[in-house]
Amino acid sequence: MDERQAWIALNMVPGVGPLCFQALVEHFGSALRVLSANEAGLRSVPGIGGKIARSILRFPAEVSMEREEALARSLGIRILTGQDVHYPSSLAQIPSRPPVLYLQGELIEEDEVAVAIVGSRRSTEYGRGVAGDLAYDLASCGLTIVSGMALGIDTAVHRGALKASGRTLAVWGSGLDVLYPPQNRDLAERIPQSGALLSEFPLGTAPVPGNFPRRNHIISGISRGVVVVEAHERSGALITANFAVEQGREVFAVPGSVYLQGSRGCHRLIQMGAKLVEDAEDILEELRLQCPLPVRPGARRGEGSRPPLEGEEELLYQMLSDQPLHIDLLIAKSGLPAGRVASLLLSLEIKGYCRQERGKQFQRAS
């Protein structure tokens, strides 16, 4: 077993995370020496107790590593260690970088200019629409779009980037052979063709809750900035934003309706200094990147056509007039919940069908 293989094996040991891995390798000088150390030597490393020491001693390193490499090859998955020349330089610069990355697809030099877009699983139509449009516009400009493969906002982000024939990276909170969520099987098959699936977790790792903060750490670390679209006050997307601050990345937030719980996280970020985002130009400007934005299919650009309305959007639009109407009147007339009406009005405003006046009054756009 060589040093590279020792890195793979040590990363597979239960209980050995990035910080523990780093402490051990720095103390012993190599992963090979870690795996050959005795219990007393392992316990002499600050932060390494008896439980982790015994876990390392009992782990069948060489057999497990050989099986891991064979399985990865059979699945078309590459394993990169922190010593590999192809390991992303953006991740190499962050504290507690993942020592090993599993990769399906390809990483290219252009991926160094990446933007992460993340948000709630419990998203609204407005949030998914904004996330997908931002991903489409930024991917059309040549930026790589990063997200976490979750349902809701993340799914809309990956689809937006693919719609633009752009590159997207999906960071998983499980092994790359454990699809999660299963509803995104089509994305798991499409993304490696124009981007990559990434994970720091060994094959076979289940998507347990404790894995997702580590996934978020990679999402922010591999990106120049993180855009949050819809997030509750305790959303995992805010964990990603906090990691971004620690890593010296830019943080952006998309505002939403004051009536929706899912807007509170974004509004809190804006209050704390995150850049408010209304369109992709706001992101490009902050990152000092120049690119003429494309005309999205169905999007309103200048005198272009507005996207069609459906269902409740159409219902609410028909209630609007050329004279301002208070939101309470629209709630009463529509019979819809207050939060839903607020969300629909915001969507109509974004699509160019209505505008908001003072005092929570709305009227049709000219």
Q: Which of the two residues, 188 and 342, has the higher pLDDT score?
A: 188
Q: Which of 55, 74, 93 corresponds to the end of one domain?
A: 74
The verdict on residue 266 lying in a domain is: yes
pLDDT per position as a tens digit, 172-229: 999 999 999 999 999 999 999 999 999 999 999 999 999 999 999 999 999 999 999 9
For residue 349, pLDDT over 70 is answered with yes
Same-domain check for residues 221 and 144: yes
265 vs 271: CA distance, rounded Å:
10
Task: For helices 3-12 and 18-28, give the axis angle rounded to 10 degrees.
Answer: 140
The verdict on residue 234 lying in a domain is: yes
The average pLDDT across 48-54 equals 93
Same-domain check for residues 119 and 226: yes
Quick one: pLDDT band at residue 140, thresholds 50, 70, 90? very high
173 vs 206: CA distance, rounded Å:
8
283 vs 261: CA distance, rounded Å:
24
Domain count, the chain: 3
For residue 305, pLDDT over 60 is answered with no
CATH code for the domain of 58: 1.10.150.20
The verdict on residue 211 lying in a domain is: yes
Please give the pLDDT value at position 54.
96
DSSP secondary structure letters along 229-276: ES--TT-HHHHHHHHHHHTT-EEEEE---TT-GGGHHHHHHHHTTPEE
Please give the pLDDT value at position 294.
62
CATH code for the domain of 181: 3.40.50.450
Please give the pLDDT value at position 366.
63
Q: Which of 31, 56, 74 corresponds to the end of one domain?
A: 74
The verdict on residue 325 lying in a domain is: yes
The verdict on residue 24 lying in a domain is: yes
CATH code for the domain of 340: 1.10.10.10
Same-domain check for residues 336 and 200: no
Instruction: Give the domain extent around 329.
Output: 311-364
Please give the pLDDT value at position 126.
87
Nearest partner of 244 among 59, 96, 94, judged by Cα: 94
The verdict on residue 103 lying in a domain is: no
For residue 7, pLDDT over 60 is answered with yes
Same-domain check for residues 281 and 330: no
Average pLDDT over the chain, rounded to whole? 91
Same-domain check for residues 16 and 132: no
Quick one: pLDDT band at residue 299, thresholds 50, 70, 90? very low
pLDDT per position as a tens digit, 228-238: 999 988 888 99
Same-domain check for residues 259 and 315: no
The verdict on residue 96 lying in a domain is: no
Same-domain check for residues 206 and 261: yes
The verdict on residue 46 lying in a domain is: yes
The average pLDDT across 9-30 equals 96
The average pLDDT across 296-305 equals 44
Same-domain check for residues 277 and 149: yes
Same-domain check for residues 150 and 221: yes
214 vs 89: CA distance, rounded Å:
18
Locus of tokens 């020496």: 33
The average pLDDT across 227-253 equals 92
Please give the pLDDT value at position 295.
56
pLDDT per position as a tens digit, 71-121: 999 999 999 999 999 999 999 989 889 999 999 999 999 999 999 999 999
Same-domain check for residues 122 and 230: yes
Please give the pLDDT value at position 296.
54
Quick one: pLDDT band at residue 48, thresholds 50, 70, 90? very high
Same-domain check for residues 42 and 155: no
Quick one: pLDDT band at residue 306, thresholds 50, 70, 90? low
Which residues sit opposite 253 in a β-bridge? 228, 276
Same-domain check for residues 242 and 339: no
181 vs 47: CA distance, rounded Å:
34
Chain center to CA of 165: 19
Q: Which of 269, 286, 303 corresponds to the end of one domain?
A: 286
